[in-house]
A and B are shown apart, each in its own frame.
Chain A
Amino acid sequence: DAKTTQPNSMESNEEEPVHLPCNHSTISGTDYIHWYRQLPSQGPEYVIHGLTSNVNNRMASLAIAEDRKSSTLILHRATLRDAAVYYCILRDGFKAAGNKLTFGGGTRVLVKP
């Protein structure tokens, strides 16, 4: 499985944007970029995913570099509820069986009021 590299932690102020970087220099052509987050005492939660184009949903935006070797998850206005560990994960879009999620250490986001 292709690996991802994320900063261990980031801090943000409430109501300000948060930009979470992820490096994936060994990404293959069939790998999709997925983001999950894990709030304290909860299981991980799907946030967003994309292949080449930037993606937006109600939770966040995903900006993907043109060479696909890095991406950035953008939380437009951080709230205290966004304090969590954010995981950047590569998934092979053509793998039919055992499509597991390979979690790294993630980025712990602290939101200050």
Chain B
Amino acid sequence: ETGVTQSPTHLIKTRGQQVTLRCSSQSGHNTVSWYQQALGQGPQFIFQYYREEENGRGNFPPRFSGLQFPNYSSELNVNALELDDSALYLCASSLGGDSNQPQHFGDGTRLSIL
């Protein structure tokens, strides 16, 4: 079975720009969650999509937005980039709304803001 894949692996942007990060979920998984991980810290929940609808959101401003497509792949969009947005962005997929289903993570996109 194919695991969670994210693209690109690394990205450099400047302040004020916009970025789109992509995630292909594990085969059969219909739920995608996005996390931001700053250096030396644990991942922080951004939002989750279930069957193409946003299904929960963490404490992130509206300039962080997302999409889930019919094939359950997903995008994370960040507008008006700030220096503090420099982080590892992780995507995780899981099956259904059962809280006890493990989340399967990709290896992330490392975003650097100059």
Contact = CB atoms under 8 A, between A and B. Distances in A.
A46 B33 CA distance: 15
Interface string B17-58: 000000000000000010100000111110010100001111
B99 A95 contact: yes
Contacts of B106: 43
Interface in A22-74: 32, 34, 41-46, 49
A44 B90 contact: yes
A43 B92 contact: yes
Given A43-B106, A44-B90, A44-B105, A101 B43 contact: yes
Interface in B62-92: 90, 92
Q: How large is the interface on A (under 10, 10 to 19, 20 to 34, 35 or more residues)?
A: 20 to 34
A61 B6 CA distance: 31
Given A41-B107, A45-B105, A105-B41, A32 B100 contact: yes
A91 B107 CA distance: 22
A9 interface: no
A100 interface: yes
Interface string A81-108: 0000101000111111111111111100
B102 to A, nearest CB: 4
9 contacts: A43-B90, A44-B105, A46-B103, A49-B102, A98-B57, A99-B56, A99-B97, A99-B99, A103-B43
Q: Which 7 A-B pairs have the closest CB atoms?
A: A98-B56, A103-B42, A43-B105, A46-B102, A99-B99, A100-B45, A96-B97
